[in-house]
Structure 1
Amino acid sequence: GHSTEMSCVRLSHDGNFLFTGGEDGSLCMFEVREVDARGVVRLQATSHSNKSAEGPGGGSFEFTEEILVTKSDLLARKEEQDQLVQKVDELKLNNEYQLRQKDTRYKQRIKDVTDKFKIELDTGKEKYDTLLDEKRQMELAYEEKLKMLHQTHSAEFKEREAQYGAKIEQEQRRRQQLQAERKTQNLEWDAMNSRIVEEHTLELNTLTADYEGKTTSEQTAQSRLHTEKDTLLQEWDGLKSSIELDADIEVEQVKARYDQKLTEEREMTLNLKAENVIMKKKYQVLMKEVKEQEDEIRQLGDSEKQLREQLKGLEKDIQGHKKEIREREETIADKEKRIYDLKKKNQELEKFKF
């Protein structure tokens, strides 16, 4: 077959061969074998060449200008053509009908619009005429009112001019009077001012003289006070140094006295501590003896009564010794407290000294 579309078809004179030409430049030859009941020719390709055809004997032959078409195809094509023509006619009629309807609608609409415009134009003309009449009437009324206002204004202007002229004359007379009064007041004020200036200068001279006298007296008094101040400061310095020396001496004396008392109290406390140790030893010895006696009491049942009496005496002695020990301890605590107070006072004196 052809690689592109066919451009022409030809049938041989004897009707046994069909030749086709394509746009690609190829030529195909088909042998006609049979025709079916519908008139369709069945072909079989035999050979093809480029732009030439040869007959069975090798010679060339002419092709017919006719194309083989069946009657049924022609009838179908004619029927389709008739249908298309009929459709075209119907479409034309339909378009003409629609155009006529549109034309009538547009004409009616144009008529309505023109009628409406005419009515509006007539009403506008009437309104315009009425407005012109009103304008003319208003212009006439305005002109009359303007004339009346002009007349009243001119009359008022003349009246006001006369009034203001009288007022101006009155004010001028008053101004002249005030100027005369001002001149007299200026003369009086100048005289008063000169008199006040003279009095002020006299009083100023007297005040300056008084001030100079007072300043000289104040300066002398101030110098005298400075000298007195210097003497008092010298006396105060001497008194201060003497007081400091006396205070140092007194502090040293108090310190020595308290140191002596402190040494005495320390010796007393040492003695009391030694006595306390001795009493404790005695107490321990007595307790040991008590234990020994208790052992002897256990061992010696016969001499229990005598030993009880001795024990009572010994217990009394022990209580007395305990009491003495307690008193000694209290005295030691008091002495230690006094020593602490003396130390504190000594520290305070040392602080005062420094």
Structure 2
Amino acid sequence: PRSNDLNPAELQEIHTICMSPAEETLAVSTDRGQLYSASLSSTDISRLLERHQCFKSLSQPFHSSAITGLSTCILKPLVATCSLDRSVRIWNYETKELELYREFQEEAYSVALHPTGLFILVGFSDKLRLMNLLLDDIRTLKEFTLRSCRECSFSHGGHMFAAVNGNIIYVYTFTTFENTLTLKAHNGKTILTVGSDIVREIQSCQVLREVPADEGSLTALAVSHSGRVIFTGTSSGTIRAIKYPLPIQREWVIQQPHGGPVNKMAITYDDQFLLTVSEDGCLLISKIVDKDGRGLKSNRQVVHTEEILVTKADLEEKAQHMLELKMHLEELQMENEYQLRLKDMSHTEKFRELMEKFTLEVESLKAAKKIMKTKIEEQEYENQKDSVEAAVKHSKQLQDLEQSYTSKLMVNHQKYQDLLQKHEKMQDEYKKQLKSAEESHTLALEDLTQVYKVKLQEKTQLLVQHQKEAEQKVHEFEKILKQAKEDEKEKIRLIQARFEQQLHSEKETNEDLKKRAAVMAQKLHGAQRQADG
């Protein structure tokens, strides 16, 4: 949906802010009762800032003031509302979505949908306007000089419509827009009316039945097309469902859906939904069911149409735009084909050059392979020859090494036996030295323990003496601190007394100045009166 006027989001103030637990989405509410959201991802923020559009509606735009008008049609599941927020909105009561809206410069007091759902009648503070419901706009078709029209309605066939101005009802034809009839009184067989606190059924100027209200004054009334149930709205926002004919006892169902007085009520053509609007700016869509949860039976077969109105200028503009896009598409296709041909030619040429290059490289590699194969065969023959010679030489060297290492092993074994005997002698000597060292260490440890016990007693006495001195210093410091606090309190009291005296003096000066100002004002007033006289 869009509006031809200034976007209302640009004129709103943010009241509250809330962030999702994952810190990915920011939601705000405004002073006009609207809800908006913004994505906090870096890519989305940069893209939206480039288009100067950070927030979008969280669900859909709502009315921000009291709703004054309500109407439904027959061939479409649409409901129209108007409000003191100077907007007219078209809702789909089946999908629960806003189909279309537009804001105006004047306040709207009443609204009526044509049975086809293609036209809308709106009563503004200055005029009554008949408008077309287009694909994406609400456009004025005819204006009538009826100010502050509080009620307007189409006939069941849509060939006539009526509008109220004061206590007069004007009836117009829909085809020629001529005023064919002017009514100043009501007539009919049976009328249901609501007073401030009672529902009356009137027939032939006689009150047949009365149903008093429990609490609150009645403000609106709606009767189902089947004539089986009556709905009333109150000033407290409650809705009552009453059986018809009106019962003798107080038997009805009460709900509290609104937070303000119910202004208008309407029932869809198939008796499936109850529509109510209130001073709180809310449109309530309620499913009508009986006690068993079943919908009301209706003999009317409703077939909703999907046709919409489109102006010739808009259609021609869209056709021209489509033609331009088609031509642009053809140009792009031709350009793409030309670029593809150029790329194919370029790729073919490159492929041919690469094939020639790779063929030459393959031939050179084959020649190199033959040369390498010949060299490998020659190298294998030389390696086999060298391997036989190395094996003979290695066998001879191995025998020489075995003889050499056998003689060395005998010599080293003798040396090992000598070292083992020497090690046993040294081990006996070290055991004797270790025993004597342990005895001398024990004696030295006992001497050191005695010396340190004496030193520990001396340090303990010194510590007790220092603790007593510290306690004495702490006691002296507490006395000094207490005296300092008393001195500070005395200084504060003296300063407070001095400032209170100054304050009293200033108050007296201020009173004196006020009295002088009053005297001057009286003198000035007297001078003005003399000047005017």
Normalised by the size of structure 1, how large is the TM-score? 0.32
> Which gives a bigger RCO, structure 1 or 2 (Cα 8 Å, sep 6+)?
1
Going by fraction, where is strand more abundant, 1 or 2?
A: 2
Q: Larger helix proportion, structure 1 or 2?
A: 1
Larger Rg belongs to? 1
